[in-house]
Chains A and B, each alone.
Chain A
């Protein structure tokens, strides 16, 4: 199993570490960083947290955005956290600034709003019920986090916090608005790797 992490900017090292931990548990596989179209020969890819505008612009400049979009449309499993979730959603707007042009992947039937909870001062940690993926209750951080306002079509919500969706899935596309890479549990990465195996 070969898992790629989009590694221009953000929490890519943390994601790689979590994946490596899960791979050690199940005994095989490797993690590589993805920066160029030729790196896309992977069984699954992670789009990390960071600044979605930066990641999108650099990916576009490197000629990676379109091939990545095509691969995901063809069924490449993907996990997008925070900025990654923004990049994967079809509808994106900002809580304050409104609609803004930025390079996105836009493959998931989800409407997402950036900086939903406010600025860094309003960032928080919370316990999330992950029973839908048999993950129990886990503590996660939300940093200038977006919110998934609604999902439609084949997309479904997997977890919510105060009636706001924080984790969603559409076939092999999984998104979270929190940061499973900055937590003591590898449950979300395990769930993602299960999707890759299938």
Chain B
């Protein structure tokens, strides 16, 4: 069990500071639309505190990509903490080519009505309106994802504008902190989705860890310089140092296909796991999903991970893709810096 050095309130005080920054930007007319936070008989919905709390209850869990109600049911029976609804699994996105967009709202709605778990859905990078549509639909979390074809080549969505929490991908500390300063409540490694190959996810978390260690050993003036280099507020860099980790929940994603893959990512310091093609592109989805859940919750114990690994057969695993065989334009991880 890893322990945070700061209390939730201390972290939230910082995020309120960021929210104040958002309001000042709004006053200067730089932001067209910011929703008013509704107050119903002394209760407040959609506040920064409420948005940042949601991912904390996902920690230690497995979020599973699904494309229909049947798969969502399997994910629930296997003990997933959430499902992520997509039109196509990343593996099929790769094969199909063309423009990948958000899933059909009717399918998302069907899934929402069939299971009790939180339901997440993906939008294209920078596609503010796909996100508005999903917020109106009532999904529990939005993933602004490089798996879909980016809608804006230069900007990400301004996530402070939303009452629904966002998760974003990152390959290094700069990307992670930029997404947090845009209002993301959760970060995940990008990895290389749809490959069944965990090597890129490993690479990305190791880069983040290395950059965190560098930051911790820096003098204050160098951290000021670093914050300019990363294009993020200095306060966010300071918070990261105080925290000695990313200041929001950080999951692993992109290429996880076995219980041991999941345990490896937890061992490297992530708070939980996203699995996509790894489950439903295998021949044993239910057993594999159960095994990945067990291994993620008990990653510190190799004996339990062994038991999880025995629940499945390597012969039934999805066919992996060697990243080196992909052409540069086929890489998803380079979308959205």
> Which residues of A pack against B, CB within 8 Å?
5, 7-14, 16-18, 20-21, 33, 35, 49-51, 53-54, 57-58, 61-62, 82-83, 94, 96-97, 100, 114-115, 118-127, 141-144, 161-162, 179, 181-184
**Contact between chains at A54 and B138 (CB < 8 Å):** no
Interface-centre pick from B3, B7, B47, B165 (highest chain A CB count, 10 A):
B7
**Contact between chains at A125 and B50 (CB < 8 Å):** yes
Q: Given that A58-B297, A100-B116, A125-B49 are known contacts, is A9 also in contact with B7, CB under 8 Å in the complex? A: no
| B60 interface contact, C-beta 8 A | yes
| B1 interface contact, C-beta 8 A | yes
**Contact between chains at B164 and A53 (CB < 8 Å):** no
| B141 interface contact, C-beta 8 A | yes
Interface-centre pick from B44, B53, B140 (highest chain A CB count, 10 A):
B53
Please name all residues of chain A whose beta carbon is closer than 8 Å to the beta carbon of B114 when the two chains form the complex: 97
> Which residues of B pack against A, CB within 8 Å?
1-4, 7-9, 40-47, 49-50, 53-54, 56-61, 76, 78-82, 112-119, 135, 138-141, 163-165, 290, 293-294, 297-298, 301, 304
Please name all residues of chain B whose beta carbon is closer than 8 Å to the beta carbon of A126 when the two chains form the complex: 42-44
Closest to B272 in A: A9
**Contact between chains at B60 and A12 (CB < 8 Å):** yes
Q: Given that A11-B59, A124-B43, A126-B43 are known contacts, is A53 also in contact with B8, CB under 8 Å in the complex? A: no
Q: Of A18, A20, A57, A121, which one neighbours B164 at CB under 8 angstroms? A: A121
Give the top 6 A-B pairs by smallest Cβ distance, nearest first: A184-B9, A9-B60, A120-B140, A8-B297, A57-B79, A126-B43
- Per the bound structure, the CA–CA distance linking A77 and B210 in Å amounts to 42
**Contact between chains at A50 and B60 (CB < 8 Å):** yes
**Contact between chains at A119 and B1 (CB < 8 Å):** no
* Cβ of B118 to closest chain A Cβ, rounded Å: 6
- Per the bound structure, the CA–CA distance linking A5 and B59 in Å amounts to 14
Q: Given that A54-B80, A54-B81 are known contacts, is A13 also in contact with B1, CB under 8 Å in the complex? A: yes
Closest to A58 in B: B297
- Per the bound structure, the CA–CA distance linking A127 and B2 in Å amounts to 30
- A-B CB contacts (within 8 Å), total count: 157
Q: Of B42, B79, B165, which one neighbours A54 at CB under 8 angstroms? A: B79
- Per the bound structure, the CA–CA distance linking A54 and B293 in Å amounts to 8
**Contact between chains at B118 and A10 (CB < 8 Å):** no
Closest to A181 in B: B8
Q: Given that A5-B1, A17-B3 are known contacts, is A127 also in contact with B42, CB under 8 Å in the complex? A: yes
26 cross-chain CB contacts under 8 A? A9-B59, A13-B2, A13-B59, A14-B8, A18-B7, A33-B1, A35-B298, A50-B58, A51-B57, A57-B79, A58-B293, A62-B298, A100-B116, A120-B140, A120-B141, A123-B45, A123-B53, A124-B40, A125-B47, A125-B50, A126-B42, A126-B44, A141-B50, A141-B53, A181-B8, A183-B9
Q: Of A17, A82, A121, which one neighbours B57 at CB under 8 angstroms? A: A82
* Cβ of B254 to closest chain A Cβ, rounded Å: 21
Closest to B113 in A: A96
**Extra inter-chain contacts (11) besides given A10-B56, A143-B54, CB under 8 Å:** A9-B61, A14-B56, A50-B58, A57-B78, A58-B293, A97-B116, A124-B40, A124-B45, A124-B50, A126-B44, A144-B57
Interface-centre pick from A20, A53, A121, A144 (highest chain B CB count, 10 A):
A121
* Cβ of B304 to closest chain A Cβ, rounded Å: 7
**Contact between chains at B61 and A144 (CB < 8 Å):** no
Please name all residues of chain A whose beta carbon is closer than 8 Å to the beta carbon of B163 when the two chains form the complex: 121
Please name all residues of chain A whose beta carbon is closer than 8 Å to the beta carbon of B164 when the two chains form the complex: 120-121
**Contact between chains at B56 and A182 (CB < 8 Å):** yes
Q: Given that A13-B1, A115-B116, A124-B43 are known contacts, is A184 also in contact with B8, CB under 8 Å in the complex? A: yes
- Per the bound structure, the CA–CA distance linking A100 and B114 in Å amounts to 11
* Cβ of B193 to closest chain A Cβ, rounded Å: 23
Q: Of A9, A61, A97, A121, which one neighbours B135 at CB under 8 angstroms? A: A121
Closest to B5 in A: A17
Please name all residues of chain A whose beta carbon is closer than 8 Å to the beta carbon of B60 when the two chains form the complex: 7-10, 12, 50
- Per the bound structure, the CA–CA distance linking A5 and B3 in Å amounts to 13
Please name all residues of chain B whose beta carbon is closer than 8 Å to the beta carbon of A115 when the two chains form the complex: 116
Please name all residues of chain A whose beta carbon is closer than 8 Å to the beta carbon of B301 when the two chains form the complex: 35
**Contact between chains at A12 and B50 (CB < 8 Å):** no
Q: Given that A115-B116, A119-B138 are known contacts, is A11 also in contact with B57, CB under 8 Å in the complex? A: yes
**Contact between chains at B293 and A120 (CB < 8 Å):** no
- Per the bound structure, the CA–CA distance linking A33 and B141 in Å amounts to 29
- Per the bound structure, the CA–CA distance linking A54 and B57 in Å amounts to 11
Please name all residues of chain B whose beta carbon is closer than 8 Å to the beta carbon of A54 when the two chains form the complex: 61, 79-81, 293, 297
**Contact between chains at B57 and A13 (CB < 8 Å):** no
Please name all residues of chain A whose beta carbon is closer than 8 Å to the beta carbon of B141 when the two chains form the complex: 120
